[in-house]
Structure 1
Amino acid sequence: MGDYTGVLQVGDGIHHAARYLPSTAEDLFWGELPARGDRARLSIDSGDVVMVDTVSHEGLLEDQGRDPLRWFGSHDVDPELVLDEAVALARSERTRDPQRQGPHVITGPIQVADTMPGDLLRITVLDTTPRVPYGVISNRHGRGALPGEFPRGANAVSVFTPIDRAKDGSWSGRLPLVDGGERSVAIPLAPFLGIMGVAVDAEQRPHSVPPGAHGGNIDLNLIVEGSSLYLPVQVPGALAYVGDPHFAQGGGEVALTALEASLRATLQFDAIPAETALREFGTLASPLAETADHLIPTGLDHTLDVAMQNCVRAAIALLGSRYGMAPHLAYAYLSAATDFEITQVVDLVTGVHARIRKSDFRSSARMQR
């Protein structure tokens, strides 16, 4: 996580040689994801590194007054620490129908040259730097893991969470134990992008909330610095995009949002040709993540039970494609050695992911060669 000194407005700290995609208000998507035919905001080659600014939706929404200066000002945030493009977007004449569109602000799309349907796009997170020294955790009516129980009052609950730096240099969010109290709990920061995706092969733009084979609002908290996400390309050029930045999130994201806050992300985009992708990963029905230690297949569905089943199926297929493992033996291995975890239960389509240790297969990989 890179250092910052309070706020990173558009263009601040950008080296002239860096590929850079700013989050200017007139070019942002709001509540929808790119689809076939959308204009690319940046064109790159496979292997290029891009610095991308993202904007959190918290502080912009209607139940917060659609006035980030006023809303954050009510929490004693100096106006200079509010992102200019957030203010411009909220004040713009752009309409957003909460019944038809999601809340998320999206930066992109990025066209990756010579990338075609059937290929995979790998997005590797090289750096995530906070753009502001605060975040927000929200719970809204009809949403979250306990709809009808929370929020307990008539209004949505949005908890302002300042960010502190400890003496050892680590960053954490500060959440009070009771409203207005002095005692607080520290939330260690582990920044990641909740939305990473490719354009769908359709004329209509997707709602920004439910994730799918295109990626989108996966909310997978393991895609931190050094991790990658693999996405099946649907349209020429991939038309990649990112958004929904988080400072931290627990598995499940039970209240509806986690610690939402704007990030500047440095990302590498690599196209993996269809033949190589099929050999290495098989046919992906849902996004696949990878860390230094784990392969992370995902399963998605409107119900958590089926999401779990889809994740197990994806894991069995991955082990067969990558290591030549027989399905019944892969099923046994997963039962004995792999953790299946809840990604999120709040995005209309729920998610489960598995953490398969790559080290368990090092000897078999050498034997295959």
Structure 2
Amino acid sequence: MILETGTVLQPGSGPIPAPLYLPASEANTLWGWLPCETDRAVLTIDPGDVVTIDTVSHEGILDDQGRDPVAYFARHGVPAEAVLDDAVAIAASEGRRDPAVDGPHGVTGPIAVRGAEPGDVLTMTVLEATPRVPYGVISNRHGRGALAGELPRGELGLSVSVFASVEDDPSGGGLVGRLPRTPGGPVSVSFPLRPFLGIMGVAVAGPERPHSVPPGSHGGNIDINLLVAGTSLHLPVQVPGALAYVGDPHFAQGDGEVALTAMEASLRATIRFDLVKRQDARALFGEISGPLAETADYLVPTGLDEDLDVAVQKCVRAALDLLEARFGMEESLGYAYLSAATDFDISQVVDLVKGVHARIRVSDFDE
């Protein structure tokens, strides 16, 4: 669903496609941390249920931006009524976040899925991802990014946040993001929006919440830009009920996300939650040990590690396991196929744990 330029989806307002709705209220969100086994579900559903979930971007609510989204976005010409009420409430909440140790991301959930047990696979299918506001922010901050220590340049200080507007594409191609024009420069830059959730995950076992920045076998901050509407993410369940969650909404992102963030902005996502029991999961996915994405065209195994070389190796191994389980492909033939026909893309290099994902074309296989 694409709304008209300028539309703002305040909590509970506008289209809510699913019969179940989860707003991003203070009670329904974590800030900077992901759910663990001991967290209480804010919603309990059955396998196959569809839920419309509001998410709030961290851009504009963080301490180094003033923790006042109304004032922050006013500096970019955004009126107060176009700032999300739930973003204002989260930013104003006391004692929720310590900027010295906590992650930046707002996370909506967790959602318990009845019957989910460790060893099963939870499939989250994104049916819609709708912008809640007509603007976003792209940041190079916190001493991070692919060129940490080099950018931002000294005269810009320690933080650069670029405001990006959402506009109608003059060619009729929907909505685009537009960057400010370089002072004195002749070029105006716009790019297509491809909204997706950077964080999709399940809870980890034990009583300790994971930090929201590094992704892992639980999913979390995987930042795979293929996960737009119409795609799925398969995750190995680690705790009873799965305790799923979403967050880190994006309007657009290039593979790599090199500056630290991409075009970050709040989304309303409608997601179907399906459960694949252990035996069926092994036949479909093999020994799935981490996030596996699926689009209409590709199976997308992943590799995650602090070392990008190791992340690639893990992704290749995951791809080989998938080829054997799904298509009965012998290892040496699978290795040859991956080398000849499969792209291995860098998901992101800025989240402490780096991500790689492979795009295996399903049309190559005659099933």
> What is residue 245 of structure 2 aligned with on the other side?
241
- How far off is 1:24 after superposition? 0.8
User: Which structure 2 residues correspond to residues 1-369 of structure 1 after superposition, within 5 A?
Assistant: 1-4=1-4, 5-14=6-15, 18-152=19-153, 153-167=156-170, 168=172, 170-179=174-183, 183-361=187-365, 363=366, 365=367
**Offset of 1:14 from its aligned partner?**
4.7
CA distance in 1, matches of 2:184, 2:47: 50
Give the TM-score of the pair, scaled to structure 1. Answer: 0.96
Q: Distance in 1 between matches of 2:95 and 2:340?
A: 52
- Give me the CA root mean square deviation: 1.4
- Tell me the CA shift for residue 71 of structure 1: 0.5
Matched residue type, 1:39: R
Cα deviation digits, residues 83-110 of structure 1 (max 9, x gap): 0011111111124123321100000011
Provide the rounded CA distance (Å) in 1 between the counterparts of 2:198 and 2:305: 17
TM-score calculated relative to the size of structure 2:
0.96
C-alpha distance in 1 between matches for 2:178 and 2:272: 32
Segment drifting more, 29-38 vs 174-183: 174-183
Shift in alpha-carbon separation, 1:329–1:193, aligned structure 2, 3 A: same
Gaps of 5+ in 1: none
Structure 2 counterpart SS, 1:359:
helix
Deviation at 1:141, TM superposition (A): 3.8
Name the SS of the counterpart of 1:187 in structure 2: strand
Separation (CA, whole Å) in 2 of partners of 1:221 and 1:17: 23
Q: Distance in 2 between matches of 1:40 and 1:329?
A: 44
1:184 is paired with a residue whose SS is coil
Residues 174, 187 of structure 1: 8 Å contact kept? yes
Match for 1:156: what amino acid?
Answer: S
By how many angstroms is 1:323 displaced? 0.8
1:256 Cα deviation from its structure 2 partner: 0.1
- How many residues align? The count is 363
8 Å contact from structure 1 (residues 69, 79) kept in 2: yes
Q: Secondary structure at the match of 1:155?
A: coil
Task: Mark the runs of 5 or more structure 2 residues left unpaired by the alignment.
Answer: none
Task: Write the distance in 2 (CA, Å) between the matches of 1:191 and 1:128.
Answer: 6
Structure 2 CA distance, aligned partners of 1:159 and 1:179? 14
